[in-house]
Structure 1
Amino acid sequence: MNHLVGKEERMWAMIVHLSALLGLLIPFGNVLGPLLLWLFKQDEGVFFQEHGKEALNFGISVTIYAVISSVLVLVLIGVILWVALFLFWIVFVVIAAVRANEGKTYRYPLTFRFVK
């Protein structure tokens, strides 16, 4: 679904997705980045709200998958899952950011929707 949204709202929607990349620098940054932006910029608009919730839900889901992968390291498959999860995470964060910048909604695959 395309929205008629302004350039600034599209920019903030893109940034909320890209803020998940804080996970590369700080523990749980993939959740904290979208959460803090979403909370501080709540009044940005409906389009931003949709992307903020989606980015937050994806960050939470990826964290859950990472914990499961960590447990599975004990049976050696976890290392492969970590690599696959990392690539999955990076690729889909970039895709979501591009879609947001285009003014389109985006739903991450394999995402639990905790925040509605």
Structure 2
Amino acid sequence: MDRTRIIDRLGQQLDARLQEAGKQSDWTLLEPSVRELAPQLQALAARGPWSGAERAALARLRAAHERAAQGCAQAAAGIAARLDEMRSNKEGWMAYALAGEHDMDRP
């Protein structure tokens, strides 16, 4: 039985979830797809050796997985940069917050 379509569908689902996660900035949307990949691939592998077409489909799936990993890494880097910026401006934020508190004491 040819498993190419099943493998390609897994890659398409992963790409679709990656796009949705990027649009919503919700990277947890990828987690179910990635978590389910290993058992699905193990079940497919248990059916016997991979054909050439199936190996090509697996390469496409690997590329989809790499895109998902890169998307997560880029998002994590953006968050890290934002946190670093916030840390470096911590004193300014504190001064701003304290000045706001003092303004509230005035009638």
Sort the TM-score into its range (normalised by shorter chain). 0.3 to 0.5
Q: Which has the larger radius of gyration?
A: 2
The TM-score normalised by the length of structure 1 is 0.38
The structure in which a higher percent of residues are helix is 2
Scaled by the length of structure 2, the TM-score of the pair is 0.40
